[in-house]
Amino acid sequence: MSTLITNIAELMTQDAEHRVLKNAALVVEGERISWLGPAADAPAADEAVDAGGRALLPGWVDSHTHLIFAGDRTAELEARMAGESYSAGGIAVTTGATRSTSDFDLTRLAMGRVAEAVSQGTTYLETKTGYGLDVDNEARSARIASTVVDEVTYLGAHLVPDGMDAEEYTDLVCGPMLAAVRPFVRWADVFCERGAFTEDQSRRVLQACRDAGLGLRVHGNQLGEGPGVRLAVEFGAASVDHVNYLSAADVDALAASWSGWDGGTGAGRGTVATCLPACDLSTRQPLAPGRELLDAGVQLALASNCNPGTSYTSSMAFCVTTAVLQMRLSVHEAVRAATYGGALALGRESGNDVDGERAVGSIAVGHRADLHLLNAPSATHLAYRPGIPLTHAVWRAGVRAR
Ligand code: NIG
Protein backbone atom coordinates (compact mmCIF):
# COMPACT_ATOMS: atom_id res chain seq x y z
CA MET A 1 0.00 0.00 0.00
CA SER A 2 1.46 3.41 -0.98
CA THR A 3 0.24 6.89 -0.03
CA LEU A 4 1.17 10.09 -1.82
CA ILE A 5 1.04 13.19 0.38
CA THR A 6 1.09 16.16 -1.95
CA ASN A 7 0.57 19.93 -1.96
CA ILE A 8 2.98 20.35 0.99
CA ALA A 9 3.84 24.05 1.27
CA GLU A 10 6.95 23.41 3.38
CA LEU A 11 8.62 20.05 3.92
CA MET A 12 11.16 20.37 6.75
CA THR A 13 13.20 17.20 6.35
CA GLN A 14 15.80 17.59 9.15
CA ASP A 15 17.91 15.32 6.93
CA ALA A 16 21.72 15.39 6.68
CA GLU A 17 21.59 18.47 4.43
CA HIS A 18 18.97 20.20 6.61
CA ARG A 19 16.78 20.56 3.50
CA VAL A 20 13.53 22.51 3.57
CA LEU A 21 11.55 21.87 0.36
CA LYS A 22 8.77 24.13 -0.91
CA ASN A 23 5.75 22.85 -2.92
CA ALA A 24 6.76 19.30 -2.16
CA ALA A 25 5.31 15.81 -2.07
CA LEU A 26 6.24 12.56 -0.37
CA VAL A 27 5.35 8.89 -0.80
CA VAL A 28 4.89 6.44 2.08
CA GLU A 29 5.13 2.74 1.31
CA GLY A 30 4.28 0.45 4.20
CA GLU A 31 6.17 1.81 7.21
CA ARG A 32 8.83 3.67 5.23
CA ILE A 33 9.30 6.83 3.18
CA SER A 34 9.95 5.74 -0.41
CA TRP A 35 10.13 9.06 -2.28
CA LEU A 36 10.18 12.83 -1.71
CA GLY A 37 10.66 15.78 -4.00
CA PRO A 38 8.87 18.51 -5.93
CA ALA A 39 5.09 17.99 -6.06
CA ALA A 40 5.23 18.39 -9.85
CA ASP A 41 7.42 15.26 -10.13
CA ALA A 42 5.49 13.03 -7.72
CA PRO A 43 4.93 9.42 -8.82
CA ALA A 44 1.54 7.73 -8.72
CA ALA A 45 0.50 5.90 -5.54
CA ASP A 46 -2.41 3.74 -4.36
CA GLU A 47 -3.98 6.69 -2.58
CA ALA A 48 -3.36 10.44 -2.38
CA VAL A 49 -3.68 12.87 0.52
CA ASP A 50 -3.91 16.60 -0.25
CA ALA A 51 -1.89 18.42 2.44
CA GLY A 52 -3.74 21.61 1.48
CA GLY A 53 -0.67 23.87 1.50
CA ARG A 54 0.35 22.88 5.03
CA ALA A 55 3.79 22.25 6.53
CA LEU A 56 5.08 18.70 7.05
CA LEU A 57 7.70 17.88 9.70
CA PRO A 58 9.16 14.68 11.11
CA GLY A 59 7.07 13.47 14.06
CA TRP A 60 8.41 14.63 17.42
CA VAL A 61 10.87 12.29 19.11
CA ASP A 62 10.31 12.65 22.85
CA SER A 63 13.50 11.25 24.35
CA HIS A 64 12.81 11.96 28.04
CA THR A 65 9.55 11.08 29.80
CA HIS A 66 8.43 9.36 33.02
CA LEU A 67 5.02 7.95 32.05
CA ILE A 68 4.69 4.96 34.40
CA PHE A 69 3.05 6.51 37.43
CA ALA A 70 -0.16 7.03 39.33
CA GLY A 71 -1.30 9.89 41.52
CA ASP A 72 -1.36 13.66 41.42
CA ARG A 73 1.03 16.34 42.67
CA THR A 74 -0.93 19.48 41.94
CA ALA A 75 -0.27 20.68 45.49
CA GLU A 76 3.48 20.76 44.80
CA LEU A 77 2.99 22.98 41.77
CA GLU A 78 0.82 25.32 43.84
CA ALA A 79 3.51 25.46 46.52
CA ARG A 80 6.20 26.19 43.94
CA MET A 81 4.16 28.97 42.40
CA ALA A 82 3.85 30.39 45.91
CA GLY A 83 7.64 30.45 46.25
CA GLU A 84 8.77 27.02 47.45
CA SER A 85 11.56 25.33 45.56
CA TYR A 86 11.47 21.90 43.91
CA SER A 87 13.10 19.06 45.79
CA ALA A 88 13.64 15.47 44.68
CA GLY A 89 11.66 14.28 47.72
CA GLY A 90 8.36 14.60 45.83
CA ILE A 91 9.33 11.46 43.90
CA ALA A 92 8.44 9.49 47.04
CA VAL A 93 4.82 10.70 46.84
CA THR A 94 4.45 9.30 43.34
CA THR A 95 6.25 6.10 44.34
CA GLY A 96 3.64 5.47 47.02
CA ALA A 97 0.76 6.01 44.61
CA THR A 98 2.40 3.93 41.88
CA ARG A 99 3.12 0.95 44.13
CA SER A 100 -0.52 0.76 45.19
CA THR A 101 -1.89 0.82 41.64
CA SER A 102 -2.67 -2.37 39.71
CA ASP A 103 -0.83 -3.41 36.54
CA PHE A 104 -4.02 -2.89 34.59
CA ASP A 105 -4.49 0.67 35.82
CA LEU A 106 -0.82 1.62 35.44
CA THR A 107 -0.92 0.35 31.85
CA ARG A 108 -4.17 2.18 31.13
CA LEU A 109 -2.78 5.43 32.55
CA ALA A 110 0.44 5.14 30.54
CA MET A 111 -1.44 4.31 27.35
CA GLY A 112 -3.59 7.39 27.84
CA ARG A 113 -0.48 9.56 28.13
CA VAL A 114 1.03 8.02 25.00
CA ALA A 115 -2.21 8.63 23.10
CA GLU A 116 -2.20 12.25 24.26
CA ALA A 117 1.39 12.66 23.00
CA VAL A 118 0.70 11.02 19.63
CA SER A 119 -2.35 13.21 19.09
CA GLN A 120 0.02 16.21 19.34
CA GLY A 121 2.52 14.90 16.80
CA THR A 122 4.85 12.71 18.87
CA THR A 123 5.71 9.54 16.97
CA TYR A 124 8.63 8.07 18.94
CA LEU A 125 8.76 7.90 22.72
CA GLU A 126 11.16 6.98 25.46
CA THR A 127 10.02 6.44 29.04
CA LYS A 128 11.66 5.53 32.32
CA THR A 129 11.03 3.46 35.40
CA GLY A 130 11.81 5.27 38.64
CA TYR A 131 8.57 5.33 40.62
CA GLY A 132 8.84 1.72 41.78
CA LEU A 133 12.10 1.88 43.72
CA ASP A 134 12.03 -1.75 44.85
CA VAL A 135 12.86 -4.83 42.83
CA ASP A 136 9.31 -5.93 42.08
CA ASN A 137 7.92 -2.50 41.33
CA GLU A 138 10.85 -1.44 39.14
CA ALA A 139 10.57 -4.71 37.17
CA ARG A 140 6.82 -4.23 36.83
CA SER A 141 7.28 -0.61 35.65
CA ALA A 142 9.86 -1.71 33.08
CA ARG A 143 7.61 -4.50 31.82
CA ILE A 144 4.61 -2.19 31.48
CA ALA A 145 6.73 0.51 29.82
CA SER A 146 8.00 -2.00 27.26
CA THR A 147 4.42 -2.59 26.13
CA VAL A 148 3.52 1.08 25.60
CA VAL A 149 6.59 2.99 24.30
CA ASP A 150 9.47 2.54 21.84
CA GLU A 151 12.43 2.85 24.26
CA VAL A 152 12.62 2.00 27.95
CA THR A 153 15.15 3.37 30.45
CA TYR A 154 15.88 1.87 33.88
CA LEU A 155 15.88 4.62 36.52
CA GLY A 156 16.01 2.65 39.75
CA ALA A 157 18.52 5.33 40.81
CA HIS A 158 15.86 8.05 40.94
CA LEU A 159 15.63 8.49 44.71
CA VAL A 160 16.74 6.51 47.75
CA PRO A 161 13.43 5.23 49.18
CA ASP A 162 12.43 6.26 52.70
CA GLY A 163 14.01 4.12 55.38
CA MET A 164 16.79 2.71 53.20
CA ASP A 165 20.50 3.33 53.51
CA ALA A 166 21.81 5.04 50.33
CA GLU A 167 24.75 2.66 49.89
CA GLU A 168 22.61 -0.44 50.41
CA TYR A 169 20.02 0.89 47.98
CA THR A 170 22.75 1.57 45.40
CA ASP A 171 23.86 -2.06 45.80
CA LEU A 172 20.29 -3.15 45.11
CA VAL A 173 20.08 -0.90 42.01
CA CYS A 174 23.36 -2.33 40.70
CA GLY A 175 22.49 -5.95 41.52
CA PRO A 176 19.12 -7.69 41.90
CA MET A 177 17.05 -4.76 40.60
CA LEU A 178 19.17 -4.42 37.48
CA ALA A 179 18.87 -8.15 36.82
CA ALA A 180 15.07 -7.99 37.21
CA VAL A 181 14.56 -5.08 34.79
CA ARG A 182 17.22 -6.12 32.28
CA PRO A 183 14.93 -8.07 29.89
CA PHE A 184 12.72 -5.02 29.37
CA VAL A 185 15.14 -2.09 29.00
CA ARG A 186 17.72 -0.75 26.56
CA TRP A 187 18.94 2.23 28.63
CA ALA A 188 19.89 3.13 32.20
CA ASP A 189 19.82 6.50 33.90
CA VAL A 190 20.81 7.97 37.25
CA PHE A 191 19.60 11.15 38.98
CA CYS A 192 23.01 12.57 39.90
CA GLU A 193 22.07 15.54 42.06
CA ARG A 194 22.19 16.78 45.62
CA GLY A 195 19.28 15.03 47.41
CA ALA A 196 19.37 12.08 45.01
CA PHE A 197 22.61 10.17 44.15
CA THR A 198 26.17 11.29 44.85
CA GLU A 199 28.96 11.18 42.29
CA ASP A 200 30.33 7.92 43.71
CA GLN A 201 26.93 6.26 43.82
CA SER A 202 26.13 7.48 40.30
CA ARG A 203 29.44 6.15 39.06
CA ARG A 204 28.65 2.72 40.54
CA VAL A 205 25.23 2.67 38.87
CA LEU A 206 26.61 3.73 35.47
CA GLN A 207 29.41 1.14 35.64
CA ALA A 208 27.07 -1.72 36.59
CA CYS A 209 24.53 -0.81 33.93
CA ARG A 210 27.20 -0.44 31.26
CA ASP A 211 28.60 -3.85 32.26
CA ALA A 212 25.08 -5.23 31.82
CA GLY A 213 25.09 -3.97 28.22
CA LEU A 214 22.78 -1.00 28.66
CA GLY A 215 23.19 2.37 26.94
CA LEU A 216 23.53 5.21 29.43
CA ARG A 217 21.89 8.53 30.14
CA VAL A 218 22.19 10.86 33.16
CA HIS A 219 19.87 13.34 34.89
CA GLY A 220 22.44 16.03 35.60
CA ASN A 221 22.97 19.65 36.62
CA GLN A 222 19.24 20.26 37.15
CA LEU A 223 19.26 21.97 40.54
CA GLY A 224 22.82 23.23 40.70
CA GLU A 225 26.27 22.71 39.27
CA GLY A 226 27.60 19.23 39.93
CA PRO A 227 29.31 16.18 38.49
CA GLY A 228 26.44 14.97 36.24
CA VAL A 229 27.66 16.32 32.91
CA ARG A 230 31.25 15.34 33.60
CA LEU A 231 30.23 11.78 34.49
CA ALA A 232 27.95 11.49 31.46
CA VAL A 233 30.76 12.47 29.10
CA GLU A 234 33.29 10.25 30.89
CA PHE A 235 30.97 7.22 30.54
CA GLY A 236 30.09 8.04 26.92
CA ALA A 237 26.42 8.44 27.84
CA ALA A 238 24.08 9.01 24.90
CA SER A 239 22.58 12.03 26.67
CA VAL A 240 22.71 14.16 29.76
CA ASP A 241 19.36 15.67 30.57
CA HIS A 242 18.28 18.91 32.26
CA VAL A 243 21.68 20.74 32.03
CA ASN A 244 20.41 23.93 33.69
CA TYR A 245 23.55 24.81 35.64
CA LEU A 246 26.67 24.39 33.54
CA SER A 247 30.22 25.51 34.16
CA ALA A 248 32.43 26.51 31.24
CA ALA A 249 34.20 23.17 31.70
CA ASP A 250 30.88 21.31 31.34
CA VAL A 251 30.12 23.06 28.05
CA ASP A 252 33.65 22.36 26.82
CA ALA A 253 33.40 18.68 27.78
CA LEU A 254 30.09 18.28 25.94
CA ALA A 255 31.45 20.08 22.86
CA ALA A 256 34.64 17.99 22.89
CA SER A 257 32.54 14.82 22.95
CA TRP A 258 31.28 15.74 19.45
CA SER A 259 34.61 16.77 17.95
CA GLY A 260 35.18 13.47 16.13
CA TRP A 261 31.58 12.84 15.13
CA ASP A 262 30.72 11.79 11.59
CA GLY A 263 27.03 12.60 11.18
CA GLY A 264 26.85 10.39 8.08
CA THR A 265 28.03 7.14 9.64
CA GLY A 266 27.22 8.00 13.27
CA ALA A 267 30.81 7.16 14.27
CA GLY A 268 32.41 9.14 17.10
CA ARG A 269 29.11 10.26 18.58
CA GLY A 270 29.18 12.38 21.74
CA THR A 271 26.77 13.10 24.56
CA VAL A 272 23.56 14.91 23.57
CA ALA A 273 22.49 17.74 25.88
CA THR A 274 18.75 17.31 26.40
CA CYS A 275 16.92 20.49 27.41
CA LEU A 276 13.55 20.22 29.16
CA PRO A 277 12.04 23.70 29.00
CA ALA A 278 8.57 22.78 30.31
CA CYS A 279 10.23 21.40 33.44
CA ASP A 280 12.41 24.49 33.80
CA LEU A 281 9.32 26.71 33.75
CA SER A 282 7.33 24.50 36.11
CA THR A 283 10.16 24.37 38.64
CA ARG A 284 11.19 28.00 38.14
CA GLN A 285 14.73 27.01 37.28
CA PRO A 286 16.72 29.03 34.76
CA LEU A 287 16.14 27.72 31.24
CA ALA A 288 18.96 25.46 30.06
CA PRO A 289 21.52 27.40 27.99
CA GLY A 290 20.52 25.85 24.67
CA ARG A 291 21.88 28.71 22.56
CA GLU A 292 25.28 28.56 24.23
CA LEU A 293 25.43 24.78 23.86
CA LEU A 294 24.57 24.90 20.15
CA ASP A 295 27.09 27.67 19.55
CA ALA A 296 29.75 25.57 21.27
CA GLY A 297 29.05 22.67 18.86
CA VAL A 298 26.99 20.46 21.18
CA GLN A 299 24.15 18.38 19.71
CA LEU A 300 20.89 19.30 21.42
CA ALA A 301 17.62 17.51 22.07
CA LEU A 302 14.38 18.98 23.36
CA ALA A 303 12.04 16.70 25.31
CA SER A 304 8.85 17.06 27.33
CA ASN A 305 10.02 15.32 30.56
CA CYS A 306 6.36 14.41 31.03
CA ASN A 307 6.09 13.42 34.72
CA PRO A 308 3.75 14.20 37.62
CA GLY A 309 6.23 16.28 39.63
CA THR A 310 8.11 18.75 37.48
CA SER A 311 6.54 18.75 34.02
CA TYR A 312 3.09 17.27 33.55
CA THR A 313 2.87 17.92 29.84
CA SER A 314 3.52 15.83 26.74
CA SER A 315 3.44 18.88 24.48
CA MET A 316 6.59 18.94 22.37
CA ALA A 317 5.15 21.94 20.53
CA PHE A 318 5.19 23.86 23.82
CA CYS A 319 8.86 22.95 24.26
CA VAL A 320 9.70 24.05 20.71
CA THR A 321 7.80 27.32 21.15
CA THR A 322 9.62 28.02 24.42
CA ALA A 323 12.98 27.17 22.90
CA VAL A 324 12.39 29.72 20.16
CA LEU A 325 10.80 32.48 22.21
CA GLN A 326 12.88 32.14 25.37
CA MET A 327 16.04 30.13 24.62
CA ARG A 328 16.91 31.95 21.39
CA LEU A 329 16.93 28.92 19.11
CA SER A 330 15.77 29.43 15.52
CA VAL A 331 12.61 27.56 14.54
CA HIS A 332 14.69 25.20 12.44
CA GLU A 333 17.08 24.53 15.35
CA ALA A 334 14.25 23.95 17.81
CA VAL A 335 12.38 21.59 15.48
CA ARG A 336 15.66 19.77 14.80
CA ALA A 337 16.31 19.33 18.52
CA ALA A 338 12.77 17.96 19.01
CA THR A 339 13.05 15.48 16.13
CA TYR A 340 16.54 14.57 14.94
CA GLY A 341 18.10 15.57 18.29
CA GLY A 342 15.78 13.24 20.20
CA ALA A 343 16.60 10.44 17.76
CA LEU A 344 20.31 11.10 18.28
CA ALA A 345 19.82 10.94 22.05
CA LEU A 346 18.21 7.51 21.53
CA GLY A 347 20.68 6.23 18.94
CA ARG A 348 17.93 5.99 16.32
CA GLU A 349 18.94 8.77 13.97
CA SER A 350 20.68 6.89 11.19
CA GLY A 351 20.61 3.74 9.13
CA ASN A 352 17.62 2.10 7.58
CA ASP A 353 17.66 -0.74 10.04
CA VAL A 354 18.91 -0.48 13.59
CA ASP A 355 18.05 -3.56 15.65
CA GLY A 356 15.27 -4.10 13.15
CA GLU A 357 14.07 -0.47 13.46
CA ARG A 358 14.31 2.25 10.83
CA ALA A 359 15.86 5.64 11.50
CA VAL A 360 13.46 8.15 13.05
CA GLY A 361 13.49 11.91 13.58
CA SER A 362 14.14 12.99 10.00
CA ILE A 363 12.46 12.67 6.63
CA ALA A 364 14.53 10.75 4.07
CA VAL A 365 14.02 7.78 1.78
CA GLY A 366 14.18 4.57 3.81
CA HIS A 367 13.47 6.24 7.12
CA ARG A 368 10.41 5.36 9.19
CA ALA A 369 7.38 7.27 7.95
CA ASP A 370 6.83 9.29 11.15
CA LEU A 371 5.19 12.47 9.94
CA HIS A 372 3.51 15.50 11.47
CA LEU A 373 1.33 17.72 9.31
CA LEU A 374 0.73 21.13 10.85
CA ASN A 375 -2.39 23.15 10.36
CA ALA A 376 -0.16 26.00 9.18
CA PRO A 377 1.86 26.82 6.07
CA SER A 378 5.22 26.80 7.84
CA ALA A 379 6.89 25.54 11.02
CA THR A 380 7.41 29.16 12.03
CA HIS A 381 3.77 29.15 13.11
CA LEU A 382 4.81 27.02 16.11
CA ALA A 383 6.41 30.17 17.53
CA TYR A 384 4.16 32.67 15.79
CA ARG A 385 0.97 31.16 17.27
CA PRO A 386 2.04 30.00 20.75
CA GLY A 387 -0.41 27.73 22.53
CA ILE A 388 -2.54 27.05 19.48
CA PRO A 389 -2.95 23.29 18.82
CA LEU A 390 -1.46 23.09 15.32
CA THR A 391 -1.39 19.32 14.74
CA HIS A 392 -3.51 18.49 11.68
CA ALA A 393 -2.46 14.89 10.94
CA VAL A 394 0.06 12.33 12.22
CA TRP A 395 1.51 9.18 10.63
CA ARG A 396 3.41 6.75 12.86
CA ALA A 397 5.43 4.12 11.00
CA GLY A 398 3.28 4.83 7.96
CA VAL A 399 -0.01 4.39 9.80
CA ARG A 400 -2.34 7.36 10.14
CA ALA A 401 -2.49 7.98 13.90
CA ARG A 402 -4.54 11.14 13.79
O1 NIG B 1 13.24 14.68 35.35
N2 NIG B 1 14.70 15.09 38.13
C3 NIG B 1 14.29 13.98 38.37
N4 NIG B 1 13.23 13.36 37.87
C5 NIG B 1 12.10 14.03 37.28
C6 NIG B 1 11.17 14.56 38.30
C7 NIG B 1 10.59 13.50 39.09
C8 NIG B 1 9.54 13.92 40.07
O9 NIG B 1 9.66 14.94 40.78
O10 NIG B 1 8.58 13.15 40.15
C11 NIG B 1 12.57 15.10 36.31
O12 NIG B 1 12.32 16.27 36.48
* Three-class secondary structure assignment of 92-117: HHHHHHHHCCCHHHHHHHHHHHHHHH
CA 40 to CA 181: how far, in whole Å? 51
pLDDT at 201: 98
Please report the atom of ligand 1 found closest to the CA of residue 88.
Answer: 9
Percent of the chain at pLDDT > 70 equals 99
Coil vs helix vs strand at 42: coil
What integer best gives the mean pLDDT of the chain? 97
Q: How far apart are CA 209 and CA 201, in angstroms?
A: 12
Parallel, antiparallel or unpaired: strands 60-62 and 32-38: unpaired
- pLDDT, one tens digit per residue, over 217-244 is 999 999 999 999 999 999 999 999 999 9
Instruction: Please report, rounded to a whole number, the percentage of residues in the chain having pLDDT higher than 90.
Output: 96
Is residue 356 pLDDT above 70, yes or no? no
Q: In the chain, helix, strand, coil percent, each to 5?
A: 35, 25, 40
Which range among 34-48, 104-118, 259-273, 342-356 shows the weakest confidence by mean pLDDT? 342-356
The structural architecture, per CATH, of the domain 60-345 is: Alpha-Beta Barrel (3.20)
pLDDT in tens, 86-96: 988 899 999 99
Protein residue with least CA distance to atom 9, ligand 1: 309
Distance of CA 323 to the CA centre of its chain: 15
For CATH 2.30.40.10, the residue range(s) in the chain are 2-58+363-400
Atom 1, ligand 1: residue with shortest CA distance = 305
**Taking 80 as the threshold, does the pLDDT of residue 265 lie above it?**
yes
Distance (Å, rounded) from C-alpha 133 to C-alpha 154?
A: 11
Substitution candidate for ligand 1 out of 154, 217, 219, 302 with most atoms within 8 A of CB? 219
Which ligand 1 atom is nearest residue 131's CA?
10
State the pLDDT confidence band at 353, using cuts at 50, 70 and 90. Answer: low
Rounded distance from Cα 111 to ligand 1 centre (Å): 20
**pLDDT score, position 308:** 98
pLDDT at 352: 59
The average pLDDT across 312-329 equals 98
Cα angle vertex 186, ends 245, 273, to 5°?
A: 20
pLDDT recorded at residue 354: 52
- Quick check: 277 pLDDT over 80? yes
Residue 6 has a pLDDT of 98
Domain with CATH 3.20.20.140 in the chain: 60-345
Strands 47-58 and 371-374: antiparallel
Q: At 163, is the pLDDT very low, low, confident or very high (cuts 50, 70, 90)?
A: very high
Question: Domain 2-58+363-400 in CATH: superfamily?
Answer: Urease, subunit C, domain 1 (2.30.40.10)
User: Averaged over 70-74, what is the pLDDT?
Assistant: 97
Ligand 1 cavity residues, CB under 6 Å: 66, 90-91, 94, 191, 219, 222, 279, 305, 307-310
Mean pLDDT of 204-221: 98
Q: Residue 90 C-alpha to ligand 1 middle, in angstroms?
A: 8
> What is the pTM assigned to this prediction?
0.98
Contact (Cβ atoms closer than 8 angstroms) between residue 1 and residue 52: no
| Of 68, 72, 77, 91, best ligand 1 pocket probe by most atoms within 8 Å of the beta carbon | 91
> DSSP string covering 351-390, please?
SS-BTTB---SS--TTSB--EEEESSSSTTHHHHSTT---
246 φ/ψ angles, rounded to the nearest 5 degrees: -120, 135
Report the C-alpha gap between 387 and 289 in whole angstroms: 23
Tell me how far apart the alpha carbons of residues 305 and 316 are, in angstroms, rounded to a whole number: 10
Residue 78's contacts (CB-CB under 8 Å, 6 or more residues apart) are: none
Q: What is the mean pLDDT of residues 20-40?
A: 97
